[in-house]
Amino acid sequence: MQNFEYKAELRDPGLARMICKKIHADLAVRLRQTDTYYNIARGRLKKRESIAIDRAVGSPEPIEYIFYERPTRVSPKISEFHLYSHAEVVERYGQSPLPIWLIVEKTRELYMWNNVRIHIDEVIGLGWYFEFEILVSGDEPEGQVEQIAAELRATFAPALGEPIAGSYSDLIAQIMQIADNQPG
């Protein structure tokens, strides 16, 4: 599967929420997420554990294993990703526990707008960030997806800071001065 994605610093979370409301993006869920990144030979593999925090009792979401590869650049980019079950990860990488590279913890507000996932994230140790992901399908030409991305960037620009090239794991690794043994 493919996502067209963009990430930036978020200078004004309240304004970003107001913009979501203005464009009729629906708040789907607030989540507390822990992403455990593993050292693997190619790409990135993370285990995502999520708990919905809007419900009376925090309710765990299914654990996801997400493998992805994407270029490291600040402009919107295509990300190739695959979702795996635990059994599929064991089949692909073996029975032995994978070596952990680092862990990212965040609170995520997930908004849905058409086929776009909009994230307002507070990342522990980093601060506030904004991200959107547009699922790329055969139904929409790449030019149309790029146009949607440009419109979203312009719409949210008053709330945003600098664009971010890498992932939250890259930023945390820089702060912690952890060598990135990840190839991509």
| pLDDT tens track for 66-104 | 999 887 777 777 888 999 999 999 999 998 999 999 999
**52 found inside a domain:** yes
Contact 182, 172 (CB under 8 A): no
Domains contained in the chain, number: 1
**129 found inside a domain:** yes
- Global pTM exceeds 0.75: yes
The share of the chain scoring above pLDDT 70, in percent, equals 92
> What's the mean pLDDT in 54-63?
72
Which range, of 49-63, 136-150, 154-168, averages the lowest pLDDT? 49-63
The beta strand positions in the chain, using DSSP E, are: 2-10, 26-38, 44-52, 59-60, 64-69, 77-84, 100-113, 116-123, 127-136, 160-163
pLDDT at residue number 72: 78
Distance between CA atoms of residues 145 and 137, nearest Å:
10
**184 found inside a domain:** no
**19 found inside a domain:** yes
> Count of residues for the chain?
184
Q: Which domain holds residue 25?
A: 2-176
Contact 65, 84 (CB under 8 A): yes
**170 found inside a domain:** yes
Q: pLDDT of 4-48, one tens digit each?
A: 999 999 999 999 999 999 999 999 999 999 999 999 988 999 999
Average pLDDT over all residues of the chain: 90
pLDDT at residue number 12: 99
Q: Would you give the DSSP letter of residue 158?
A: G
Distance between CA atoms of residues 134 and 114, nearest Å:
9
Distance between CA atoms of residues 51 and 14, nearest Å:
22
User: The domain that contains 141 carries what CATH number?
Assistant: 2.40.320.10
**6 found inside a domain:** yes
**98 found inside a domain:** yes
**182 found inside a domain:** no
What pLDDT band is residue 184 in, cutting at 50, 70 and 90? very low
Contact 11, 26 (CB under 8 A): no
